Amino acid sequence: MSKQVIKTDQAPAPIGPYNQAIIANGFLFASGQVALNPATGELELSGIQAETHQVMKNVLSVLEAANLTPDHVVKTTIFLSDMSLFAQVNEVYGSYFSGQYPARETVAVKGLPRGVNVEISVTAVVQL
């Protein structure tokens, strides 16, 4: 099995021993993205909707670096700091997909990196 590392400066650089994404066996496995603006290095925490938009922009940047689109995404995981944020996050998240939505789970967790409220990871197929 071969694997390909996906890197882009259009999404936040990893802050630990991991990659933004890996392609293996016809799938892209993307690390979770938070609302870090890669251009400024600042977190977008002005509101949960703005935070979620930045997270999704980062996810899209990783997909684009692999020449993929949201249509290639087959599974997502959403981590929330509080389940009361679900409706607002869901509204923004849903606007980035059309047609057939990916499978998904959403979980509330005790804490997320850098005190953010939402983190999203994706798995995508390389060929539709």
> Over the Cα atoms of the chain, what is R_g?
14
| % of the chain exceeding 90 in pLDDT | 94
Gap between the Cα atoms of 29 and 21, Å rounded: 5
**pTM of the complete model:** 0.96
Helix (H) or strand (E) holding 33: strand 27-33
| % of the chain exceeding 70 in pLDDT | 100
Range of the domain at 87: 3-125
Structural domains in the chain (count):
1
pLDDT per position as a tens digit, 69-120: 999 999 999 999 999 999 999 999 999 998 889 999 999 999 999 999 999 9
User: What pLDDT is attached to residue 100?
Assistant: 87
User: What pLDDT is attached to residue 124?
Assistant: 98
User: What pLDDT is attached to residue 67?
Assistant: 98
Q: What is the CATH number of the domain that holds 86?
A: 3.30.1330.40
